[in-house]
Amino acid sequence: MPEKLKIGSVPYMNAWPLVHGLDERSDVALRRDLPAALPQLLRTGDVDAAMLPSIEYFRLAAEGLERARRAAAAGGLGGYVALPVAAIGSRGAVGSVMLFGFAEPDRLKRVLLDPASRTSNAMARVIVTRCLGSRPHFVLPEEIGPGQARQPDAELVMGDRALSAERPQAKWVLDLGQEWDRLAHKPFIYAMWVARADGPLARLTDVLAEARDRGLAAREALADHGAQALGISTDAARRYLLQQVRYGFGQKEQDGLRVFYRMAAEEGLAPDGVHLCVARPAGATRSSP
């Protein structure tokens, strides 16, 4: 009997359709963790594949370039490949990546980021600088000491808690999925399945594709459960899972990911010179800038 596939995913509702039924399989060990924790699990081999934040793919791939030069088994592809099975993305408003503003957009001095996801943080930085024309200081909650109790000029809230987040004192609110669509006219990819290049790619692809098909068919039931768990309306939960979040990872989505990578690299948020490597169904890979 083959070894269990070790798969890591985020705990958020938007990932539920992609891992539906995996925790019931005897040949899979499913682990849920925050987006920021998953890269290390993939790096150390604690998981064979992970629903990796998109910005982390490029950072991991850059780290793997030197290892790939030393180990031909990695195929010269940076050691990690995206699986063309599914992703968590949007094309327009997404509802779960929200920027609340407490000062005028052109007067932002300090923006509070969310420690859970470096992709959402990078997205916020790109949009604030390119769409709002501001160059504020971006900080994480742990960077705010007791002598810095002043309210930030804007705050990023992401994930499930963003679906019900309220900031009554906010002067404006931006859905960053909508703002990205206006900026780039491309889909945005928040996370995608990434595996080690020398891993069981064909088996992972089959298992994850089966979970995807089962989960997409069960989205209404998953949304109903999510509404109760998160304390939001059933209509809002169904709109989120069936309309706002998109799960494709085809050419258009990959093109949008490349655009985000280039912008992030220009802002110093991602390493230069990394290509998106996507595994072929048979386990081979292709690389594109």
Alpha-carbon gap, residue 205 to 280, rounded angstroms:
10
User: What global pTM score does this model have?
Assistant: 0.90
Q: What is the pLDDT of residue 288?
A: 44
Q: What is the pLDDT of residue 51?
A: 97
Q: Are 5-89+187-288 and 97-184 the same fold in CATH?
A: yes
Q: What is the pLDDT of residue 2?
A: 76
Which uninterrupted H or E stretch holds 253?
helix 251-266
Segment among 116-120, 178-182, 200-204 with least mean pLDDT: 116-120
Q: What is the pLDDT of residue 289?
A: 39
Distances (CA, A) of 252 to 99, 187, 246, 248, 287: 26, 7, 12, 9, 16
Domain ranges of the chain: 5-89+187-288, 97-184
pLDDT at 1 over 70: no
- The tokens for 212 are 């995807």
Q: What sign has the CA pseudo-torsion 159, 163, 169, 174? A: positive
pLDDT digits (tens, 9 = 90+) for 15-34: 999 999 999 999 999 999 99
Sequence-distant (6+) residues with CB within 8 A of 258 are 276, 288, 289
H-only helix segments in 100-230: 118-130, 176-184, 201-217, 219-230
Q: In CATH, which of 3.40.50.300, 3.30.160.270, 3.40.50.720, 3.40.190.10 is domain 5-89+187-288?
A: 3.40.190.10
Q: What is the pLDDT of residue 283?
A: 45
Q: What is the pLDDT of residue 243?
A: 97
**97-184: what fold?**
D-Maltodextrin-Binding Protein; domain 2 (3.40.190)
204-213 burial: b if 16+ Cβ within 10 Å, else e: bbebbbebbe
47-72 burial: b if 16+ Cβ within 10 Å, else e: bbbbbbbbbbbbbbbbbbbeebeeee
pLDDT band at 77 (very low <50, low <70, confident <90, very high): very low
Distances (CA, A) of 231 to 16, 164, 221, 235, 271: 17, 8, 15, 12, 39
**Mean of pLDDT over the chain:** 90
pLDDT at 96 over 70: yes
pLDDT band at 265 (very low <50, low <70, confident <90, very high): very high
pLDDT band at 281 (very low <50, low <70, confident <90, very high): low
pLDDT band at 64 (very low <50, low <70, confident <90, very high): low
pLDDT band at 86 (very low <50, low <70, confident <90, very high): very high
